[in-house]
Structure 1
Amino acid sequence: MRSKMIKEGLERMPHRALLYATGLPKSEIGKPFIGVATSFTDLIPGHTGMRDLERFIEKGVHTGGGYPFFFGVPGICDGIAMGHGGMHYSLASRELIADMVETVAEAHRLDGLVLLTNCDKITPGMLMAAGRLNIPSIVVTAGPMISGHYRGRRLNLTSDTFEAVGKFKKGLIRKEELEALEMCACPGAGSCQGMYTANTMACVTEALGMSLEGCATALAVSSKKRRIAFESGRLIAHLVKRNITPRKIMNIRAFENAIMVDLALGGSTNTTLHIPAIAHEAGIDLPLDAFDRLALKTPHITDMLPGGKNYLEDLDYAGGIPAVLKRLRQKLNDNITVSGKNIYEIADKAEIFDEDVIRPLDRAHHAQGGIVVLKGNLAPGGSVVKQSAVSKNMMKFRGTAIVFNSEEEAMKAILAGKVRSGHVVVIRYEGPKGGPGMREMLSPTSAIAGMGLSESVALITDGRFSGGTRGPCIGHISPEAMEGGPLAIVEDGDPIRIDIPGRRLEVLLTDVEIGRRLKTWKKPAPKINKGYLARYARSVSSANEGAIMK
């Protein structure tokens, strides 16, 4: 055990004295030391219920023969941070979370980790730490929120709050309804109810084999989630004793499985940042093109919010991720998981309780997976779009550019009615370096949808989107504008062509004209030049590399 370094031998007497000062009984010092990295906070609905899960993890660790030590990891709620300067910190916090887990685990020589997480950047940050440390680890995602209800209809965060802003601005809903939606859309603890980034990453984590079967969709505050938390705590000492480490689980087979499950679910485009970043920490090169390659053979079989109608609770009641694995079994790779069961074993034992929520492959909603990669003279390094959330008549679109150098500029113009049918909204200098922090654009995309323009307006950006975004919204354009990518030289009125089936994103200018403009382009001053974000901007890589720190 790694913890022997701090608890065995004469010279470790002072270390033992300090450990006993924490209340550690002398009878427990020989057991594996298990770190429980908890991201509990009062700030995030997805995390407010974690105190309860901590209790059950603790019971499980003791039952399994380990001794738990809890330590805190910070979290940011993307929904609350969105639409203002706070969103600069969201993606950047992923690296801090990975560094903090690494720092505590290494400094205290922990033998294993239980990673209690839920929301957007916390889950990938913890998985990155697990891959980097390569000590036995198991992830517990705290679970999705139940649906809201108002006058007989179910509610969710995106369409019933973010999109409601645009609807109210256009006079489509009354103030009384707006206020009711504000109170009813999010009824309690848990991650937001659709296949947004938090829930997508929970599903990816389970498909990777890093959490127990059923964990991703088990609802927050449910007894099922409590039992999963207990069993995760019980199993971690077993993983330590058998030296089952993350890199033995998170191999290339596992990452391909995770991507295929993501594609089948129509998950958030943010996975194209997070999955490659986790793979990088696990010592695996996973290029962006892997998503497009696997999309060609992975059908989209669930109709999940935001583009569809089903909530995470529907997916859970239909059988959860094990049922999705059962549907995809012939395409998946067999691999070990933290449960001790292999992927095929989990798939074979799974039951599918709703044939419409998790469709057979021959009745898929789309023949190809939810996320595709577009390239062209606007995105030589690639860009991403959630095609499962784009209507058929917007899969190909040609429009004229209306250009903004920040999200705030774009949002002001959209709400002022300056964005009209036929426009391609261009938001640039919002990439990993330019943002800095690659802010999500849910506010402008939701305003466009709420104002009834999602069938006639497209949006492209070197920033990124929330998992709640729907419509022809293309993000992660690489190289980003701050690096002198072609997006930097687009002007108002330039014709832009989007061809999702053809995987192309182009500004209809000659190479000569593009070259002329690039020669005269001048790099703007950084938006933020102090503190962590200034350091982040200097070190972060492009979106097509997962926005990892170098």
Structure 2
Amino acid sequence: MAFKPAKWPRKLRSTEWFGGTSRDHIYHRSWMKNQGLPDDLFDGRPVIGICNTWSQLTPCNAHLRDLAERVKHGIYEAGGFPVEFPVFSTGESTLRPTAMMFRNLASMDVEEAIRGTPLDGVVLLVGCDKTTPSLLMGAASVDIPAIVVTGGPMLNGWFQGERVGSGTHLWKFSEAVKAGEMTQEEFLEAEAAMSRSPGSCNTMGTASTMASMAEALGMALSGNAAIPAVDSRRRVIAHLSGRRIVQMVKDDLKPSDILTREAFENAIRTNGAIGGSTNAVIHLLAIAGRVGIDLSLDDWDKAGRDIPTIVNLMPSGKYLMEEFFYAGGLPVVIKRLGEAGMLNKDAITVSGETMWDQVKDVKNWNEDVILPAEKALTSQGGIAVLKGNLAPNGAVLKPSAASPHLMQHKGRAVVFEDIDDYKAKINDDALDIDETCVMVLKNCGPKGYPGMSEVGNMGLPPKVLKKGITDMVRISDARMSGTAYGTVVLHTSPEAAAGGPLAVVKDGDMIELDVANRTIHLDISEQELSARLAAWKPSHHVPDSGYARLFHDHVQGADTGADFDFLKGCRGSAVPKDSH
């Protein structure tokens, strides 16, 4: 059923700053007026923040200033007062050691900026991977009306007549150079084809996945996820979102009204249907934690296990986000889920309508891009959650990006103690490894890296690549880019740096992977495993101070979302005391 709006007029948060004649009210208004703002903007109309992750160091978001202007137009038209402000922007391609280390920091920035300023509602301008979850986490912790506008994906890349998917082809071309199938000069030539327009990754990587998750959760207008960054319709949806947020404030439609368990189930199923990034697991767990929804890895496996992957996009399939948009985009996928009985149809969205009402009349314009269920890339997509003595708290694998012949495999472990150990050994032809082995990478989890970098899709050794082998089983406590592919077991929990079983795997141990039965097993006795764990001592460096120390001391495991322990839950929108 549709959302029932609150009675209007009602007192707005911004009234505490602007709505009176006291010294403090005059103080707040007069300083704002140095920007040339007229009196009637302070007449009690909703003040809408535009939370902008624009940054030239976040190239995926470098066009968001223009979108912010379009949002302002919509806010003004609907009778609101727009105010744009910057927040910490986590740029995946430039930020070291990894953008994931700063997702929680960005969420703190967003939360405090919203709570401490005179905002009645907020538009979340996002794009690059971690900007979407960090802004959703921060907004959920305050719980004032909020709507997501993403920057959109880049146009297709093209090189030598072939579609080039951002990220996906970077890994592919890099391996081809190692295998002697591509020259270094060709690799450098392909560089210009990878990112030929503004926007985020044009594959179904983490940026496109999280844009889809925002829409599937109901936190963005229907159709938002797939519109290319340079398409004029991206500006239109920004404009319409500006209009809509003003009405959301009037209706008092908040994240807590939208981000229900049913909404998260819709998002999990959608992720399976689109072949979405494994990173969505961590981010949705963290967002759920901010609104008090008890979401677990088991929920991911239960809700998403039998979902066919029907979106034929890289890295799982053939096409890119541009074709996905032309085919009808995410609304078509959500409609398919609804028709198959796999959608909570009554879930409320930022539009005020139910999820089903938004999508029930859309059409699929290309069935080679959005496939019929009988032609699905895999009949059981989603994220496979694996458990066993190697991952007591769980690990994840993306079936749609894995090799079918490796989904059940037993092999000898070749162990890398950390990423530096991997880099030192992997190109050495003396390394005792072949395609039947299982590559094991330790100390790359939330505490271990620190920040849990995207190194889980370890490149294969050149001597294996030269045989024409393109995939091996790889296991780590790291993440991998949503643009990557392969039979890669990720997020192994507890992580090695926290003393999880992964920490005590040795060269030569046999490891068995059985995706169908959802198990990952280290083939040693319980007594031997217990003895190794009792003798284990941490080897990773613990930062002495600064944010890195805060992160290390308070980050939780990947199995619960890798949020800080003290950030769980909603702290609300109570107006802080005025100090003037």
Cross-structure match for 1:148: 157
Q: 2:89 aligns with which of 58, 69, 75?
A: 75
Matched ranges for 1:345-494 at <5 A: 345-417=357-429, 418=431, 419-441=433-455, 444-445=458-459, 457-494=472-509
Distance in structure 1 (CA, Å) of the matches to 2:486 and 2:247: 46
Other-structure match for 2:549: 534
Measured at CA, do residues 309 and 446 of structure 1 come closer, stay the same or move farther in structure 2, by a change above 3 Å? Answer: farther
Q: After the TM superposition, which residues 174-253 of structure 1 pair with which residues of structure 2 at under 5 Å, given as runs?
A: 174-253=183-262
Residue in 1 that maps onto 2:133: 124
- Structure 2 CA distance for aligned equivalents of residues 148 and 411 of structure 1: 29
* Shift, 1:527, TM fit: 4.9
AA of the residue aligned to 1:4: T
What is the CA-CA distance between 1:447 and the residue it aligns to? 7.4
Answer yes or no: is the 8 Å Cα contact 2:513–2:521 preserved in 1. yes
Whole-angstrom distance in 1 between the partners of 2:491 and 2:468: 22
Query: What SS is found at the alignment partner of 1:375?
Result: strand
* CA displacement at 1:442 relative to structure 2: 6.2
1:443–1:465 Cα change, 3 Å:
closer
Deviates more, 1:155-164 or 1:199-208: 155-164
Instruction: Indicate the residue corresponding to 2:353 in structure 1.
Output: 341
CA contact (8 A) 1:301 1:358 kept: yes
Q: Deviations over 1:327-371 (max 9, x none)?
A: 111210021111222111122121111122212333322221231
2:97 equivalent in structure 1: 87
Q: In structure 2, how many angstroms separate the alpha carbons of the residues matched to 1:306 and 1:372? A: 17
Q: Which residue matches 1:107?
A: 116
Q: Which residue of 1 aligns with 2:318?
A: 309
Conservation of the 8 A alpha-carbon contact between 2:435 and 2:469: no
Alignment CA distance shift 1:237-1:6 (3 Å): same
- The percentage of aligned residue pairs carrying the same residue is 38
Distance 1:545 1:349 in 2: 37
Cα distance between partner residues in 2 of 1:145 and 1:378: 39
Output the CA distance in 2 between the equivalents of 1:407 and 1:454.
22
Once the two structures are superposed, the pairs formed by residues 267-346 of structure 1 within 5 Å of their partners are: 267-329=276-338, 330-333=341-344, 334-346=346-358
Q: Which residue is equivalent to 1:14?
A: 27
Unaligned segments of structure 2, at least 5 residues: 1-11, 566-580
AA in 2 matched with 1:413: K
* Number of the residue aligned with 1:4: 15
| Secondary structure of residue in 2 paired with 1:100 | helix
How many angstroms apart in 2 are the aligned matches of 1:411 and 1:354? 43
Choose from 38, 44, 48 the match for 1:25: 38
Measure the CA separation in 2 of the matches of 1:442 and 1:457: 12
Q: CA deviation at 1:74?
A: 2.4
Distance 1:446 1:110, change over 3 A: farther
What's the offset of the Cα at 1:300? 1.6
Aligned residue pairs total 545
Deviations 1:6-52 (A, max 9, x none): 01223322122222223321111122111101111112231111121
CA separation in 2, counterparts of 1:80 and 1:10? 48
How far did residue 148 of structure 1 move? 1.1
Deviation string, structure 1 residues 66-124 (Cα, Å, up to 9, x no partner): 1111111222332344xxxx134x11211112111111111113100000001111100
Contact 1:426–1:460 under 8 Å retained in 2: yes
CA distance in 2, matches of 1:406, 1:15: 52
**Which residue does the alignment assign to 2:568?**
none
SS in 2 for 1:341: coil
- Structure 1 distance, partners of 2:19, 2:562, is 41
**Structure 2: distance between partners of 1:277 and 1:452:** 42
Which residue number in structure 2 is paired with residue 162 of structure 1? 171
Deviations 1:387-434 (A, max 9, x none): 111121111111111111222321342233435322211111111111
* Aligned residues of 1:74 and 1:97 also touching (Cα < 8 A): yes
* Deviations, residues 455-476 of structure 1 (Å, cap 9, x unaligned): 5521111111110221111010
Amino acid at match of 1:244: L
SS in 1 for 2:323: helix
Among 498, 508, 522, which residue is 2:523 paired with? 508
TM-score normalised to the size of structure 2? 0.91
Higher share in helix: 1
Amino acid in the other structure paired with 1:135? I
Greater Cα offset, 412-421 or 288-297: 412-421
Report the alpha carbon displacement of residue 296 of structure 1 after superposing the two structures with TM.
2.8
Structure 1 residues without counterparts, runs of 5 or longer: none
How far does residue 452 in structure 1 lie from its aligned partner after superposition?
6.7
SS in 2 for 1:164: helix
Deviation, 1:545, is 0.5
- d(CA) in 1 for partners of 2:514 and 2:330? 32
Maintained 8 Å contact 2:49/2:119: yes
